[in-house]
């Protein structure tokens, strides 16, 4: 009994040490992640620990700068970015989910070949694919169109692979057969049964697609030469020459944060549901 008590005490001490290490690493990573945002908020509000009253002096000035910042070119860039980002994100998650559903739920010839082809395309460096895409756009005189930034986002390989892996873990053929017996069509099955099942994967991919499209600078800078078609990141790069960086950083950060806060709930629900199933 004495040896058993000593072993239990040793195991308990090891568990406590492991928890301390995990919590310490988690706190460090959290601080590293939040530090840029806290620094940005500090610059925007003017808050300082040694001078809290400075906020009352800086905030009215920041508000004036913020109103002045939204000139016609910046407003146009903001609208263009919202159009491109929202449309590309919606099309990306919908058609990626549809492609993943077709690979997972149906048996058809060359299904494995098609799935392996998507995996192979995913391995192609982005720079290689982008170079050919730019040449093609200028060859057919399709530059200076926002649709050129939206259409390539449909069913990207990484999104399809991510959706397929998640759908395979929760897929139930009996559920689809029951829906077909009840007379549901294939599109109704996909829209009303498959999409709700994939909500956590859709939320995760929506965040990644939104941030990627929102922060994209290279393609808009190369393809959109007209002033009225430039997106917000390109406009802000041009405005950085004026020397003001606090307001642009604050403006560009707000939409991704809002999207993350809105969709993170669905990710947490999916994780909890998966833990219950296990």
What are the sequence ranges of the domains in the chain? 2-57, 70-277
CB atoms within 10 A of CB 278: 5
Q: What is the dihedral of CA 69, 70, 72, 77, to 10 degrees?
A: 100
- Report pLDDT for 278: 39
Alpha-carbon gap, residue 148 to 139, rounded angstroms:
13
Can you give the pTM of this predicted structure? 0.77
**pLDDT band, residue 276 (cuts 50/70/90):** very low
First to last CA, the chain: 35
The residue with greater pLDDT, 72 or 118, is 118
**pLDDT band, residue 277 (cuts 50/70/90):** very low
Nearest one of 210, 166, 172 to 189, comparing CA atoms: 172
- Report pLDDT for 87: 92
Statement: residue 263 has pLDDT above 50: yes
Under 8 Å between Cβ of 88 and 213: yes
Domain 70-277 indexed as CATH 1.10.150.130:
no
Q: Which stretch of 30-39, 161-170, 237-246 has the lowest confidence by average pLDDT?
A: 237-246
**R_g over Cα of the chain:** 25
Alpha-carbon gap, residue 2 to 249, rounded angstroms:
62
Statement: residue 2 has pLDDT above 80: no
Q: Which stretch of 73-87, 120-134, 189-203, 211-225 has the lowest confidence by average pLDDT?
A: 120-134
């Amino acid at each position: 009994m004495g040896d058993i008590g000593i072993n239990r005490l040793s195991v308990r001490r090891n568990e406590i040490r492991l928890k301390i290490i995990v919590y310490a690493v988690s706190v460090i990573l959290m601080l590293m992640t939040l530090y840029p945002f806290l620094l940005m908020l500090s610059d925007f509000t003017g808050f300082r620990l040694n001078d809290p009253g400075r906020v009352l002096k800086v905030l009215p000035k920041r508000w004036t700068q913020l109103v002045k910042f939204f000139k016609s070119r910046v407003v146009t860039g903001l609208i263009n970015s919202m159009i491109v980002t929202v449309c590309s994100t919606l099309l990306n998650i919908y058609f990626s989910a549809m492609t993943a559903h077709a690979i997972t739920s149906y048996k058809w010839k060359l299904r494995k070949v098609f799935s392996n082809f998507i995996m192979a395309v995913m391995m192609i460096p982005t720079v290689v694919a982008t170079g050919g895409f730019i040449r093609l756009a200028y060859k057919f005189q399709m530059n200076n169109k926002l649709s050129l930034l939206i259409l390539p986002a449909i069913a990207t390989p990484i999104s399809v692979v991510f959706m397929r892996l998640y759908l395979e873990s929760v897929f139930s053929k009996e559920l689809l057969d029951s829906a077909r017996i009840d007379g549901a069509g294939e599109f109704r099955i996909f829209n009303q049964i498959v999409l709700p099942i994939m909500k956590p994967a859709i939320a995760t991919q929506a965040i990644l697609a939104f941030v990627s499209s929102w922060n994209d600078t290279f393609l808009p800078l190369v393809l959109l030469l007209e002033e009225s078609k430039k997106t917000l990141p390109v406009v802000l790069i041009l405005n950085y020459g004026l020397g003001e960086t606090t307001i642009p950083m604050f403006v560009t950060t707000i939409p991704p944060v809002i999207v993350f806060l809105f969709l993170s709930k669905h990710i947490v629900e999916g994780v909890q549901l998966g833990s219950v199933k296990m």
